[in-house]
Amino acid sequence: MTSYTLRKGSSAKVRTDVVVIAVTSTAQGPVLAPGGEAVASAYGRALTPLLASLGFTGTRDEVAQVPTAKTLRAPLLLLVGIGSADVLGDATRTTDAVRRAAGVAARTVSNSASVALALPARDPAEVRAGAEGFELGRYAFTAYKSGPAKDEPGEVVLLSEIARSKAGAAALETALVVSSAVRTARDWVNTPAADLAPPAFADAVRAQAKASSGKLRVEVLDEEQLRERGFGGIIGVGRGSAQPPRLVTLSYRPRRATRHLVLVGKGITFDSGGLAIKTQLGMRTMKCDMGGAAAVLAATVAIAELGLPVRVTTFAPMAENMISGDATRPGDVLTMYGGTTVEVLNPDAEGRLVLADALVAAGEVGPDLLVDVATLTGAAETALGDRVSAIFGHDDAAVARVRAAGARVGEALWQLPISEEMPVKVRTYSKIADLMQHNVDVYGGALYAAAFLAEFVPDGVPWAHLDIAGTGFNRRGAYGHVPSGGTGVSVATLVELATELAEAQDS
């Protein structure tokens, strides 16, 4: 267990194994960022030549470890570059830089029992970013590794001027709850699909809810109940698998709440493509296809742990998209929950089918704001890459609200349109059913999918759809506070959104 404490004190005098400071790059050379003042004065004039001889410029993600030879009380100084000093001119950019630098530091320190972060920590957002970045950066998925566990620091001290304020302490608490939820989401995504089929995933949610605040209610519909109640999308996708589907509902209903946030997450525990089977390369990382469900469920756990006064109901439709003699075929028609019929054209466009059922169920509980999160289309990744999630919606205020929440916690969202031709295609392509599941045209797949989902959102409900196909799973190396594998993207955005809804209700 790593413990975090917030303390006022000098970065030159703190008793610890390693002190971390941030360095910006300027035209005049590297300059220590706020938080490193005491280190700068301890080194005095020796600092500039020291950085020069290391070739350290302060470029983003650059790191250097310097033995301090008693210049500081700590034996080791860890420098992390955060790029142009311009970032310090903008609060959001500084916060992002701190989160990222703390993540880099966490991945760099080795064999240190204690770490002191002397990063910018002048306000609650910076304090939170330091703790969150470090806790997320040091994440490692080790459940399947034999051999001794990796050393982890026993104590992380965050040095901050606001250490003794209520707001500072609250920021640290939020950081720890949110990063714990992000880590849970990552664990679920990283768990091999064979070990996290729908029944096991539903059990894991139950266990998580029980272990956390005791303020959550879990309801699980099994295959028989889903069939009885007409969840044709979830049943249709799950029928090719030996593992039965589930619909998990996680709810949090604090007494003081007046607003109701409703979340829906895609929970395809493995996506083989079904009868539209993917290539082996295409399905290599498809255990990640429940990343949306992982995010909304973990966020709900965090919201309850923080005790935010906002009601949350979260739906996670879970199914495994496989092939068998009984898998859904192209040309089959499914009757979704609520009665809408859909002609299946491509069994690999399965996410929207399970989401359609869940969105209808979500509409029934009276959302003030409805947000779904899904690793839905490769087209979203083609459009925006692997670090920017796509966001869609007809309600500009709802979309802006979610985007702004994401920006405050360092998660980039870019709006793509549900252009007017898309709903027309969704409604007219099928000759035999109400709706056509999949775009007959090659391009615009993310837009078509969003337009399809929109058909299942009741009129007048503010709704935003997040496509995290590009961002949910990092197939490449770690960067900043983001490791390889499951990223836990959207958890922080959703918790921030709930925080903002709770505040809006108080005023």
Catalytic residue annotation: 278, 352
Dist. CA 453–CA 470, nearest whole Å: 19
Binding residues among 283-312 for ligand BES as defined by CB under 6 A:
289
Between 172 and 468, name the residue whose CB sits nearer to Zn ion: 468
Contacts of 399 (CB under 8 A, 6+ apart): 391, 392, 393, 415, 464
Considering only 349, 353, 361, 398, the residue that binds ligand BES (CB under 6 A) is 349
x/- mask, ligand BES, residues 104-143, rule CB under 6 A, reads: ----------------------------------------
The minimum distance between CB 271 and ligand BES, in angstroms, equals: 4
Between 223 and 289, name the residue whose CB sits nearer to Zn ion: 289
Dist. CA 268–CA 255, nearest whole Å: 33
Considering only 223, 271, 372, 411, the residue that binds ligand BES (CB under 6 A) is 271
Between 13 and 475, name the residue whose CB sits nearer to ligand BES: 475
Residue nearest to ligand BES as judged by C-beta position: 378
The minimum distance between CB 42 and ligand BES, in angstroms, equals: 49
Run of H or E residues at 118: strand 114-118
Between 305 and 348, name the residue whose CB sits nearer to Mn ion: 348
Dist. CA 373–CA 210, nearest whole Å: 24
The minimum distance between CB 8 and Zn ion, in angstroms, equals: 49
Dist. CA 375–CA 411, nearest whole Å: 16
**Segments in 191-329 forming alpha helices (H):** 198-211, 223-228, 232-238, 291-306
Considering only 351, 363, 393, 483, the residue that binds ligand BES (CB under 6 A) is 351
The minimum distance between CB 268 and Zn ion, in angstroms, equals: 5
Between 386 and 496, name the residue whose CB sits nearer to ligand BES: 386
**Which among 500, 496, 478 is positioned nearest to 178, based on CA atoms?**
496
- If phi over 0 gives left and psi between -120 and 50 gives alpha, with beta otherwise, what is residue 410? left
Secondary structure tally for the chain: helices H, strands E: 15, 21
Dist. CA 183–CA 175, nearest whole Å: 12
Contacts of 496 (CB under 8 A, 6+ apart): 405, 406, 408, 409
- Per DSSP, the three-state class of 290 is helix
Per CB under 6 A, the segment of 106-114, 235-243, 307-315, 347-355 that binds ligand BES is: 347-355
x/- mask, ligand BES, residues 413-442, rule CB under 6 A, reads: -------------------------x----
Considering only 2, 57, 341, 346, the residue that binds ligand BES (CB under 6 A) is 346
Between 271 and 467, name the residue whose CB sits nearer to Mn ion: 271
For the record, the structure tokens of 6 come out as 């917030």
- Per DSSP, the three-state class of 346 is coil
Considering only 265, 445, 462, 485, the residue that binds ligand BES (CB under 6 A) is 445
Dist. CA 319–CA 241, nearest whole Å: 8
Residue nearest to Mn ion as judged by C-beta position: 348
The minimum distance between CB 343 and ligand BES, in angstroms, equals: 14
Considering only 96, 126, 132, 271, the residue that binds Mn ion (CB under 5 A) is 271
Dist. CA 31–CA 23, nearest whole Å: 6
- Quick check: 187 binds ligand BES (CB under 6 A)? no
The minimum distance between CB 268 and ligand BES, in angstroms, equals: 6
Per CB under 5 A, the segment of 77-85, 104-112, 267-275, 438-446 that binds Mn ion is: 267-275
Per CB under 5 A, the segment of 42-50, 183-191, 268-276, 386-394 that binds Mn ion is: 268-276
Q: Which residues of 456-493 are buried (b: 16+ CB within 10 A; e: fewer)?
A: bbeeebbbbbbbbbbbbbbeeebbbbbbebbbbbbbbb
Bridge-partner residues for 473, per DSSP?
486
Per CB under 6 A, the segment of 76-84, 111-119, 169-177, 343-351 that binds ligand BES is: 343-351
The minimum distance between CB 271 and Mn ion, in angstroms, equals: 4
The minimum distance between CB 236 and ligand BES, in angstroms, equals: 14
Q: Give the sign of the dihedral formed by CA 346, CA 348, CA 349, CA 352.
A: positive
Between 274 and 363, name the residue whose CB sits nearer to Zn ion: 274
Between 112 and 328, name the residue whose CB sits nearer to ligand BES: 328
485-486 and 473-474 strand pairing: antiparallel
18-26 and 114-118 strand pairing: parallel
Residue ranges that bind Mn ion, judged by CB under 5 A: 271, 348
Residue ranges that bind ligand BES, judged by CB under 6 A: 271, 289, 346, 348-351, 375-379, 381, 438, 445, 469
